[in-house]
Structure 1
């Protein structure tokens, strides 16, 4: 269903459009390939905008497509103000943005402000320069400990495995919280902010609608922290909590000042938005009134399929958002964690639970982030070691499987791989042979599919008056269940994670994640009532 011109104009004219928006994360290399090389690209996205409009999302969040050696699939950037030829060029981005706007959708980019590629001109200049030089000042260089400086400056570990420090032939060490090919920038150096401001304005002037700021809580840090304070970095692919919030590299006082500077730039461009990956679930660098507009909250993502745990996560998220004056944010998956169909048990049970949690998430007030493919019910793929490309897998010698299983290209049509993702012979990650039933084409024709459920839920969320209001209230519910009501609109959402049938709250059913049984709510099911 195409949006009306009135709705497109309303979105375009509302500078706070993002407060109840649905963002759709496009992992660019896995979405759609237009040039048969097996890697998704900008033209591939443009060719699927009709699908995204049909789904009903408000904005796209594109993973990094900047110039890069692709050691970390684009999160190792050599030029943050250009498009890597693997994905297209600036003209292709212009076409994508113009067409997305014509379809009533905004376009936001993934900003990587804390590190560069080791091939970046700055780092190459630092390698050619002496210790203590201005060129090295843009990064975090330190002398080592021990009599000959043979020990790293502290005991910090990398997010992808191994130490967070690498030693150069001249004896100095440089910091990299990710791979050694991604040296960390020094936010105390004025050139770092000057360059980021230039990057922000470059994309905003081209019509980009905002940014997701990668590791936004790490834009300052106590690098000279004492021994023993830095071994808590969480494995990037695990959804269980955020112990890295306790590490001195994150959430120090200087972070908020940098966020204010980012916000001041965006305030010159009405209607633009910055979402910080700030680990809001840990109570860290949450957005301040004059800071980033939104902060990712991973509590619901990190919660098992359990009504009591989910209710606690929702209550804590709502309280944290209220304390900052910002809308709450909700997400169940992204490119850094396993897909929630698999996290909820996989197979039929995982799918039923994922359907139920989709209704819970979309019933809540605030901002929702969907990860491409979740609307198709895609599970993780158990890839062979030879196919895995994630630096987590290689950096740990295979001890950690990494995130590739959640990044397999999307299936669009047909019965055999590559399911319309590319016209080429292969894809950058291999696709399973049993995904024919999960293609967008097959699910669009099935009223009971996951895709049809998402489309119905998003349409109701957008148009039904029962979704008004920014607060919820809880009902009494049987053990293993919960029910809440949207204040102001009256929508009721009930979830059953118990092992038996339970009665429904009063009201008329408008949508269920699965069929009722004898007028009652079955296990692994959620329902909306008005």
Structure 2
């Protein structure tokens, strides 16, 4: 039995019979996006071509062969638009041009063309819930009178109280503090309030306004005409607000749809009309008879339960939605079993793939998140004065979690650097922090430290300035010491490295079309192990994926070990380890 990452192991007991399917195999001629593995690039932190300490589009273009060799199918670029960067580019001042920090529109076109030549598709971020306060529309709104067409593009309201000096309601900002700010009227007297569910520099757009809808239609076409293959839609659940603007209770961070829990700024029914409209636009760009030409929408929608999220991926709406329930699951087999089963049940009911994800630019990297306490409060940021997680435990669990995730049928997203096992920067000095969450909360909110720790520049070469991020030692955020030993040049071609593990997983997954496979729970599944089979989309083999959560090594049935997330113990699976095992011929289809 050959283990791609860890050499030879022995044979053990016979394999039990396979139970009923949880998820049937996808059609063999399904379009590319149903099983694609898409790699997220955070442009500021990927590769700096000019030495100013900020990543840029030419730097991304130069590194695209690395992603081809990694084995992903597409890249998603976080925002690169003109922006004052109050929220790292998610405050857009011009959706049709590139911020000079990143390059030019020509650089973007070269990047898209180069990616396509390498066989990689390109998704870009669309930020439709709000603009920057420096957007020409918002500047015009501030200069205009209340009730004007300019103000109607945003959400302006009169204040409460006898003098209008109180916010229109009690809505809070996700980033801390109240969700409304007051502006002066053109004559300088105190005037109306505008809504900003995020930072004060991110005024919410009014999606009840047809002019707004037409503008974003045009933005979609602008980028589709330049060859992009799709859009990741920021805050997809937030565009439409309850027009009665009621006071609310509960956390601004959730959009749970249980009775009495749906927040009036999240997951309103009207968002689905917007996405049906967008789907029709994207479908105009599909070449008849060519599923490879399909352009896609992926929702960032923090929505619960799974049935509510599945509404975003009905056949005439979006193509994908991030499975944040999976990302949020604690290191526990029962939790994973529940979210996997319910995700397939909900998505299969609308004919959509499930889209798995473990890390992104807004959460603790899973090489750190899985090492912190798995019960009770779990932080969204870790500082130098906080208890420090065990890096070996985090990396071991992260490798096991990824090995399990990439065995699941459907699509998947990989966040830059996770293929190196990069942890969160948990000792970053506060003076470096740039996230508006940190600056708005003054350290008093549960999310106070913000997201800078997961956005640190990539590590390419151990002994080069800025670890190969750019030609100078400058980096817009500091890199922790741990990154040097994890740099690409320290792992490239090294058996057992995290980079080699990812390459092996992605190569096998692609070769046997595991993303199109059929999933069933296996008899070894239980209180201390998560075990399922994936009968590959090409119909040639059945592979058992087993993750051991117990304290003692777990025995494997008879079969050939294909890949293991860590070394085995005399043919048994140690704790916090995942194995892919090819079952004997009798189980193949």
TM-score by length of 1: 0.93
Contact 2:246–2:264 (Cα < 8 Å) also in 1: no
Question: In 2 relative to 1, CA 468–250 (structure 1 residues): closer, same or farther, beyond 3 Å?
Answer: closer
- 1:117/1:154 CA distance change after superposition, 3 Å: same
Q: Which moved more, 1:164-173 or 1:368-377?
A: 164-173
Residue among 304, 307, 324 paired with 1:298 = 324
Q: Distance in 1 between matches of 2:77 and 2:515?
A: 28
Cα distance in 2 for partners of 1:154, 1:325 equals 40
SS in 2 for 1:369: strand
Does the aligned pair in 1 maintain the 2:173–2:199 contact within 8 Å?
yes
Match of 1:247 among 263, 267, 274: 263
Equivalent runs, 1:171-190 vs 2, <5 Å? 171-190=191-210
1 CA distance for matches of 2:457 and 2:271? 35
**Aligned counterparts of 1:503 and 1:190: Cα–Cα separation in 2:** 61
Deviations 1:282-301 (A, max 9, x none): 34353222111111111111
Q: Give distance in 1, aligned partners of 2:54 and 2:72.
A: 24
Structure 2 counterpart of 1:57, from 72, 83, 86 = 72
**Contact map agreement 2:83 2:132 (CA 8 A) in 1:** yes
Query: Which residue does the alignment assign to 2:272?
Result: 256
Deviation at 1:15, TM superposition (A): 8.0
Deviations 1:496-520 (A, max 9, x none): 0111111113321111001111211
SS of equivalent residue, structure 1 residue 181: coil
Aligned to 1:75: 90
Equivalent residue, structure 2, for 1:311: 337
Written as runs of structure 1 = structure 2, the 5 A alignment for 1:96-495 is 96-169=111-184, 170-229=190-249, 231-234=250-253, 246-270=262-286, 271-283=294-306, 284=308, 285-345=311-371, 346-382=390-426, 383-399=428-444, 400-415=448-463, 418-464=466-512, 468-487=516-535, 489-495=541-547
Q: Which has the larger radius of gyration?
A: 2
Query: Is 2:34–2:515's contact at 8 Å kept on the other side of the alignment?
Result: no
Q: Is the 8 A contact 2:437 2:449 kept in 1?
A: yes
CA RMSD for the aligned pairs? 1.9
Deviation track 1:17-72 (CA, whole Å, cap 9, x = no partner) reads: 11100000000100000011100011111111111111010000000000111100
Distance in 2 separating the partners of 1:86 and 1:349: 37
Higher normalized contact order (CA 8 Å, seq sep 6+, divided by chain length): 2
Q: Which range moves more in the overlay, 21-30 or 457-466?
A: 457-466
Give 2:38's aligned residue. 23
Describe the superposition over 1:441-472 as per-residue Cα deviations: whole angstroms up to 9, x where unpaired.
Answer: 11103111111000000000011366652433
Distance of 1:404 and 1:430 partners within structure 2: 10
Q: Quick one: distance in 2 between partners of 1:498 and 1:479?
A: 8
Query: Relative to structure 1, is the Cα distance of residues 143 and 220 closer, same or farther in structure 2, using a 3 angstrom cutoff?
Result: same
The Cα offsets for residues 87-144 of structure 1, whole Å up to 9 and x where unpaired, read as 0011111111111111110011000011001011111111011111111000000111
Match of 1:508 in 2: 560
Which digits, 9 at most, give the CA deviation of each residue in 1:356-414, with x for residues without a partner? 01111000000000000100100110211100000000010133100000000000002
CA separation of 1:101 and 1:518: change in aligned 2, threshold 3 A: same
Structure 2 distance, partners of 1:386, 1:24, is 30
**1:341–1:351 Cα contact (<8 Å) kept:** yes
Where does residue 571 of structure 2 map in the other structure?
Answer: 519
Q: Secondary structure at the match of 1:471?
A: strand
Q: How many equivalent residue pairs?
A: 512
Structure 1 portions without partners, runs of 5+: 1-13
Q: Please report how far the alpha carbon of residue 477 of structure 1 lies from its aligned counterpart in structure 2 after TM superposition.
A: 3.1
| Cα-to-partner distance string for 1:212-254 (whole Å, 9 max, x where unaligned) | 011111121114332234x42118xxxx989997211111121
1:31 and 1:466 mapped to 2: Cα distance?
Answer: 29
SS, match of residue 393 in structure 1: helix
8 Å CA contact 2:237–2:303 kept in 1: the answer is no
Tell me, in whole angstroms, the C-alpha distance in 1 between the residues paired with 2:138 and 2:95. Answer: 14
Query: 1:256 and 1:245, CA in 2 relative to 1: closer, same or farther beyond 3 A?
Result: farther
- Alignment partners' CA distance in 2, 1:357 and 1:281: 22
Which piece of structure 1 moves more, 215-224 or 395-404?
215-224
Secondary structure of the equivalent of 2:58?
A: helix
> Contact (CA 8 Å) 1:417, 1:431: kept in 2 or not?
no
> 1:331-370: per-residue Cα shift (whole Å, max 9, x none)?
0000000000111114111111101011110000000000
